[in-house]
Amino acid sequence: MNRAKFVIVLGLFAALMILSACDALGVPMLAPPTPFPTSTPFALGAPTSIASKCVPHTPQALKPSNLVAELIMAEGAGANGEPVNRTGEFLARETIHAIVGIKNAPANTKIRAVFYALDAGNATQCNVKLGESEQSASGSRYLDFALAPANDKPWLLGKYRVEIFVNGALDHVANFVVVTQKQVH
C-alpha cells in the first residue's frame, strides 16, 4: 500500500472512531450512564418499598408568590416558630411540623397548609387529605403548621406531602416520609 492510501485509510479510521464515540451514527458504543441519585432534604423514598398500587398525586402548578422564603420540615418549632431539628423523616408517633418562612408579606396574607398521605400503610391510604390549617400573617417571620397523630393513632409508614398555599394559590410543596427508624445523616 502506498503512503497516500495509508494516510487516507488512517484518516477514515480516525473519523469513524470519532463519530462512533460521539454517537453520530446513532449507535451508542456503551450503555447510557445511570444518573447519580440526587440528595434532597425532603426526597421521597421509603426505606424499603414494594411497587405501589397508589396513583401518583399530582398537585396543581406552583405559582410562587415570593412571599414564602422557605418551607422546612422539622421535628418541632422554637419560641418564634423557627424550625427545630430539620428532617424529612418522621416516626409514627411524632408531630409533623411544616415551618413556613415568610418574607415581606403584606397585612392579612393567608397562608394555608394541606397535609396528604400519598402512599401509606401498604397502599391503604392513597392521596388522602389528612388535615389543613390556615393562618393570617404579615411581615417576615416563621409560621408553624403542625399535624399530630389523631387520637393517639400512629401515622402509617409511607410517603406524605404538605402543600403550602398563599392567598389560595399553591406556592410550595414538600415531601416527607414516616419510617420505623430514622437514618443517621
- The tens place of each residue's pLDDT in the chain, 185 residues long, gives 566 665 565 555 555 445 444 444 443 333 333 332 333 333 333 333 445 677 776 778 899 999 999 999 999 999 999 999 999 999 999 999 999 999 999 999 999 999 999 999 876 778 899 999 999 999 999 999 999 998 878 999 999 999 999 999 999 999 999 999 888 76
SS3 3: helix
Number of Cβ atoms within 10 Å of the Cβ of 176: 22
Give the DSSP H or E segment for 5.
Answer: helix 3-21
Residue 14 has what pLDDT?
Answer: 55
What pLDDT shows up at residue 53?
Answer: 72
Looking at this protein, which amino acid is placed at residue 53?
K
* Per-residue pLDDT, 5: 61
Backbone phi, then psi, for 38, in 5-degree steps? Answer: -95, 145
DSSP codes joined into one string, 24-91: TTS--SSPPPPPPPP--TT----SS-----SPPP-PPPP---S-EEEEEEEEEE-TTS-EEEE-SEEE
pLDDT of 126 reads 86
Q: What is the pLDDT of residue 124?
A: 73
Q: 161 is written with which cell numbers?
A: 406531602
Q: Tell me the torsion sign for CA atoms 35, 37, 42, 48.
A: positive
Return the pLDDT at 52.
63
pLDDT value of residue 65? 94
- Any idea what DSSP says for residue 13? H
